[in-house]
Amino acid sequence: MEKFIILKGGLTNQYLLPCPGGYLMVEAGDEKDFARFKGKLKKAGVDPREIRYLFLTHHHGDHAGFAARLREISQCRVIAHRDAAEPLKKGRNARVKGGGLTSRRAMLLAGIMIKLNLGLSLRFPPLELGENDILVQGDDNKLLRDLGVPGKVLHTPGHSPDSISLLLDDGSCFCGDAAMSSLQWLGLRYCCIYMSDVEENYRSWQKLITAGARTFYPAHGRPFKPEALKRNLNRFRQEDLVIPGRRRV
Ligand SMILES: [Zn+2]
């Protein structure tokens, strides 16, 4: 496929994949980054109305935060996992029993970012999905091809139950928060700072690698290779998670 566009800067990366009539964009971003996002889009020479689809890797506020506003100006169709519909409608990060932070340092940082409103909002403008939007049930090898994008959708839970990834036939993998390369100084070992189910998350890594992922393009951080995940596989266990309110920092 024609090379895609990466919009960096801000907490969350956006990726614009060419499709017939415009772009399929992977991820929106935090609500307060909307003006900055529009600036990046303009700089890239893309009109918001060219965004035909918005692929949300999951419902969290730093991904879906400005999705409602973007849909208003672009009329894009949203693609998300069916389990994202409810929390998107509420405009609120869903709590998952047993989920927690990858380390105490991660918990401290997340706490500070939420308190100071540094782009990690747990609440965001609600997004109600309708007939025009597309909910995926799980793995889907047909949907993207029908839209003219050569790739597939894979259900990759572990960061959140509704996490999905987009894998292009050339091995480019847009994995959302299933894995990330930023904040490695926190000792994250390519995991996100929050996980709902650690073992499930590692199974998702293996699933993506087995499916042919050759370069990972995460929502947070720079691209990386599968070797990074292979090196760090199964480094955490569910018991290692720090659950806010349950253990002292
Ligand atoms: Zn997330």
Centroid of ligand 1 to alpha carbon of 61 (angstroms): 8
* Three-state secondary-structure class, residue 184: helix
Q: Return the H-helix or E-strand segment holding 64.
A: helix 61-64
- For ligand 1, the distance from its centroid to the CA atom of residue 92, given in whole angstroms, is 12
Position 201 scores a pLDDT of 97
Between the CA of 160 and the centroid of ligand 1 the distance, in Å, is: 7
The CA-to-CA distance between both ends of the chain, in Å, stands at 48
**Ligand 1 center to 63 CA (angstroms):** 7
Name the packing angle between helices 34-43 and 67-74 (round to 10°): 50
Summarize pLDDT for 118-176 with one digit per residue, the tens: 767 789 999 999 999 999 999 999 999 999 999 999 999 999 999 999 999 999 999 99
Structure tokens at 67: 């999705």
**Centre of ligand 1 from the C-alpha of residue 46, in Å:** 26
The pLDDT assigned to 140 comes to 98
What average pLDDT does this structure show over 23-39?
96
Q: How confident is the model at residue 248 (pLDDT cuts 50, 70, 90)?
A: very low
105: its two tokens: 């340092």
Calculate what percentage of the chain has a pLDDT beyond 90.
Answer: 76
Is 63 in a helix, a strand, or coil? helix
Q: Kindly report, residue by residue over 47-103, the tens digit of the pLDDT.
A: 999 999 999 999 999 999 999 999 999 999 999 999 999 999 999 999 888 888 888
Ligand 1 center to residue 194 CA distance, Å?
A: 7
Report pTM.
0.94
| C-alpha separations of 189 from 149, 207, 232 in Å | 31, 18, 6
pLDDT at 2: 63
pLDDT score for 98:
87
Residue 53 CA, ligand 1 centroid: distance in Å: 20
Tokens of 204: 């998702």
Please give the helix or strand (H or E) that residue 26 lies within, else none: strand 22-26
Q: Ligand 1 centroid to 217 CA: how many Å?
A: 15
CA of 197 to the centre of ligand 1 (A): 13
pLDDT reading at 115 higher than 90: no
Compute the half-sphere exposure of residue 211: CA atoms within 13 Å on the CB side of its CA: 28
* 122 CA → ligand 1 middle, Å: 10
Centroid of ligand 1 to alpha carbon of 15 (angstroms): 16
H helical segments located in 118-170: 143-146
| Residues 50/35, Cβ–Cβ less than 8 Å | no
Does residue 247 carry a pLDDT above 70? no
Those residues with Cβ within 8 angstroms of residue 90's Cβ, 6 or more apart along the chain or in another chain: 126
pLDDT digits (tens, 9 = 90+) for 9-23: 788 999 999 999 999
Map out the domains of the chain with their CATH numbers: 5-240 (3.60.15.10)
182-211, pLDDT tens digit by residue? 888 888 899 998 999 999 999 999 999 999
pLDDT at 249: 40
